[in-house]
Structure 1
């Protein structure tokens, strides 16, 4: 199954989970974590992407705060810990770590040179910023939190971005969704889908708001998007 590699940044090094496909060379996808660290949900996403033929890499973006975070959404104590990590997290530094991951993965002998990114929750915001600030070939954002405050960055988008927005997202209220839709729905690089009745993290298996049907539809759209953009 998966393995661990070390990513080198300008000011240190951090771990990443890697799932490798059967092919000797393949496109890579950087999987950007939620607020629960590189946990089983993220590792399973990597494993699923590897089964689809991608080199999947999930970097530990909380490494400066506390390396090796691996918690769930199943207890009040874990939620408290997750929000403490979220509040201590430097988003801009996280994007720089993602850029370092993309740069290193692109040079991996198993990568064919194409690198995409997909992120969830906090990672959904980071995926949007990755699309705007890095040379990722394609990015996917699932229910990103806080994008409404950064829509001005869309002017820097030069590569494809797919966005999944939950219409009843408790962390992205209707007013915030309106800002996002107004700014991005007609952007030439953006494909945006909304999901009526769905709450935050509707694609997180085992989560309170998981919806198999809409998660399946979103994931199918994601794979089709990556196939077109990355091959």
Structure 2
């Protein structure tokens, strides 16, 4: 597959977004939003998987105001470094940068039609907040810690949305996830998937302290089924 880096203009400068193109050269777009570890090997692998299914994928470098192209190692020191970076991150600016990337993605000649958003951890929260304020066609939000305190935003989300959580997530207690499940019952476009075996960041195969292979495989299969239903490619 072909890859490149696009420069995305922002009100106070510009930042890079990694782009992955499917073999066909065209397809629906996916805005892929990073975890606190940055646009590193896990996000790259997800992007490659999605591009192999026929999607045009864009992953913006959201920590650019703090450190361009930041990537943290998936060990204890790297986690601490990533958490310090996340604590300094301006969330509202991040949503705005995602919106800029979304606009760039929609305007790309390689993007045919609809555009979805997929985010993990920090990106899961950003994807959810973006969906409440921008026009998107599909949303996959993985263990976004900001979701439980922003349940009221569900009324502003029109797109088919899948919220994925781990039932043993120490950062998002199960009772808070249950409150999200209860709120989502009022919105037929919003689904909640909880794997009771898993904790936080359980899809990240680069992070052995978090990764749960069985839960990850099941959640990813459910997620790809959701995408193929609501954001189909020619392959789907």
TM-score range relative to shorter protein:
over 0.9
Equivalent in the alignment of 1:141? 141
1:48 matches 2:20: no
**CA distance in 2 between partners of 1:45 and 1:230 (Å):** 16
Q: Secondary structure at the match of 1:162?
A: strand
- Return the TM-score normalized by structure 2: 0.93
Q: Quote the offset at 1:91 in angstroms.
A: 1.4
**CA distance in 2 between partners of 1:193 and 1:230 (Å):** 18
Q: Which runs of 4+ in 1 moved over 6 A?
A: none
Equivalent in the alignment of 2:199? 199
Equivalent in the alignment of 2:65? 64
Query: Which structure 2 segments of 5+ residues have no match?
Result: none
Contact kept in structure 2, 1:130 and 1:139, CA below 8 Å: no
Query: Which structure 1 segments of 5+ residues have no match?
Result: none
- How does 1:78-89 map onto structure 2 within 5 Å? 78-89=78-89
**CA distance in 1 between partners of 2:113 and 2:13 (Å):** 24
Contact kept in structure 2, 1:2 and 1:47, CA below 8 Å: no
Aligned residues: 230
1:109 matches 2:106: no
RMSD across aligned C-alpha pairs, in angstroms?
1.3
Bigger shift: 83-92 or 175-184? 175-184
Q: Deviations over 1:146-174 (max 9, x none)?
A: 21111111110111111111000011012
**CA distance in 2 between partners of 1:54 and 1:3 (Å):** 15
- How does 1:161-200 map onto structure 2 within 5 Å? 161-200=161-200
Equivalent in the alignment of 1:7? 8
Equivalent in the alignment of 1:18? 19
**CA distance in 2 between partners of 1:174 and 1:215 (Å):** 18
Contact kept in structure 2, 1:146 and 1:172, CA below 8 Å: no
